[in-house]
Structure 1
Amino acid sequence: MTQTQPAEEPGRRTGVVERLTQILDVFAVGPDAMTLEEITALGGLPRSTTFRLLRQLVEMRWLEHDERGYQLGQRIRHLGQRVESHARLRAAAAATIEQLQRATAGVVHLVILDGDSIEMLDKLGGTTAPTIPTNVGVRFRAEDSVAGRAMLSALAPERVDRLIESRGAVSDTSTLHRRLSTIRHRRGLAVTTDDMPWDLRGIGAPILGSSGPVAAISVGLPGRSANVERFAPLITRAAASISRQYSAAHRAAAQ
């Protein structure tokens, strides 16, 4: 039986992003794999429009298409895994970074390494938080922060070079490598240096997984003369605790 195709609402043209969203929303309610006809019926768009959008989504790897029909693609699965991993990391770190913030009265950050940049996942500091000019979701070059340097120090020098070179600009990494070597001798503890573009001092430590750094935490205080070195034992224990809790959560999720 031929199904009547729903017409778009008179006087209103939906944008491309809205129509693509309508198609992707179908996969939240439908089976894992669907035919063109099933997606058309659930998505509420004309068949020709649905087919064109599906083809674009397949080309962009948001969807895949085989003999079973259309299904979520590698790109969207990777995004889902990334979000899930971040949620596990934040859950594993939550209690520990709260304790660290109370013990230091500083501003505590939880960050991840994404390519050659860091991304802020959490920031705790109570009334002192506004004194540190950072926000959740903001990204910085990894070498410009103590948390980023702590994670870079846990990577092989060749891997660091590849990350920096991925920007497409020629960079002299010799100074950075000397700084990372110092951090490695301090067992991963990075401390703010004069070349960093911040009116503060911080200390950072990596959170390690089975294949290297998965994140880092840092404690910062305003002013370039703040004594953050005294927090070294606290942040070392906190990073080790989060590493254990995250690894346990990761193993449980894989089972």
Structure 2
Amino acid sequence: MRPEIVQTTIDEKYLDLQQNPQLSKWTNMGKNNEMIFLNKEGAYIETNDLIFKFMDDNIEHRHFLDLGTGNAELLLHVNKLLNIPFDCIFGISAVDHRPVDSLIPNTSYFITNIDNLNEWSNKITTFRYSLIVSSSTFYHLVDPLTALETVYDLLEINGLAIIRHIPLSILRINAQHLELLLRRQGHTVCVMEMMNSPGNYLLAIVRRVEIPKLILPFQYTGDIISVSGTYTYAAVQLSTITNDEYILHQQQNTTFFQNIGIPIKQWKI
């Protein structure tokens, strides 16, 4: 359970955002077919390949969720790319940034605090999703780790979540340490630093039938981390691992995506 100071910080920050919507102007961006770099050698995957893989016609229950959807360009892109109806495509934003002439219906666009998604009861939380994505959002959350646990709950079996811009460096969490702990639990997971956003990390995870919950191995310290007067985070501490376990563990970012059938492409450096 969150400490009271964490929940209070979440509520105060969101209230300030509602009263001063200009603070969220950073969300008003398009996020169509992005290249997601996996290493410094230029290996990358494309958002479109994720969409084609996890939202194709062979999937019985196709639902897509964009966390921090902003102007909803990605929702529109998914709708046009695969001709998927809007009643299968959803986005969440802290503030409504849709253009005046937006084609995105209110039934697909929800305004709420992603930090409180674990307590939110709405149509959108009754579905299970084939693909959940997020970009340029999780570093604005106060408690991004709890939000990650909720994201896993919303996945259907064998569904994929790929969450970017998780501020692990500020939280003082070692990515290899976190990935090792999750793999030890049996998760199919990848945690890696983003090549174009130092200090922020990508977490990709597939929901497996034998693992009904994602339980991140951390504890709240009861403190709040403040950065530049703009970003505030719940301070946490991960479970420990032995030095031998840490040395033996090696991240294999390209292998993770190859194993789930996503083509790896190479940028010509």
What TM-score do you get using the length of structure 1 for normalisation?
Answer: 0.28
Higher share in helix: 1
Higher normalized strand content (fraction of residues): 2
Higher relative contact order (CA 8 A, sep 6+): 2
TM-score normalised to structure 2 length: 0.27
Q: In terms of Rg, which structure is larger?
A: 1
